[in-house]
Amino acid sequence: MTQPIPVQPNYVNPNELNTRIRILEGKYNLTRERMLLINQNMVDHYKTLNDEIRIIKKDLKEIKETMETIKDTNRNMIKEMSFFARKEQLKVLEKYINMWNPLNFVTKEEVLELINKKGDKHDSRKKK
């Protein structure tokens, strides 16, 4: 038959247990400090990112406003350009100006002077 294996009592040295506990506590404290540092870094990074996002949103808003201003200006320019004379219209005006030949027009003073000269000649003929 089989004989039972003698069970050895679980005897652990208390000094060894204390040493193990202190090592585990040290590791736990180190891990906790690292976690706190990581959390603080994450909070700082989060704040920095939020600030950058806020600045980007502000810049984007300014860009949108500028784009709207540019669009309005372009619309107004296009609207004003519709009032410009066309090439064909300018050609018609050029023909009329050439027909009238405004360089041969006389001024009001010149007309009055001619009338006075004619009047003087007419008066001098009547006197004779």
Q: What 3 state SS string does 62-113 have?
A: HHHHHHHHHHHHHHHHHHHHCCCCCHHHHHHHHHHHHHHCHHHCCCHHHHHH
Residues 6+ apart with CB under 8 A from 85: 93
End-to-end alpha carbon distance in the chain: 182
Answer whether residue 46 is part of any domain.
yes
Answer whether residue 6 is part of any domain.
no
pLDDT of residue 7: 53
Same domain, 76 and 89: no
Looking at residue 82, the DSSP 8-state letter turns out to be T
Token pair 């027909």: residue: 99
- Interatomic CA distance for residues 128 and 122, integer angstroms: 10
Answer whether residue 1 is part of any domain.
no
pLDDT of residue 20: 94
pLDDT of residue 43: 98
Same domain, 72 and 57: yes
pLDDT of residue 56: 99
- Interatomic CA distance for residues 6 and 52, integer angstroms: 71
Backbone torsions φ then ψ of 6, nearest 5 degrees: -70, 130
Radius of gyration of the chain measured on its C-alpha atoms: 53
- Interatomic CA distance for residues 37 and 110, integer angstroms: 99
pLDDT of residue 86: 92
Residues 6+ apart with CB under 8 A from 1: none
Structurally, the chain folds into a number of domains equal to 2
Same domain, 18 and 64: yes
Answer whether residue 32 is part of any domain.
yes
Same domain, 20 and 53: yes
pLDDT of residue 114: 87
pTM of the predicted protein model: 0.51
Same domain, 80 and 107: no
Same domain, 73 and 90: no
Domain that holds residue 121: 85-128
Same domain, 58 and 92: no
Same domain, 44 and 71: yes
Per-residue pLDDT for the chain (128 aa), expressed as one digit of tens each? 567 665 556 777 889 999 999 999 999 999 999 999 999 999 999 999 999 999 999 999 999 999 999 999 999 999 999 999 999 999 999 898 888 876 777 788 888 898 898 887 766 666 65
Same domain, 77 and 33: yes
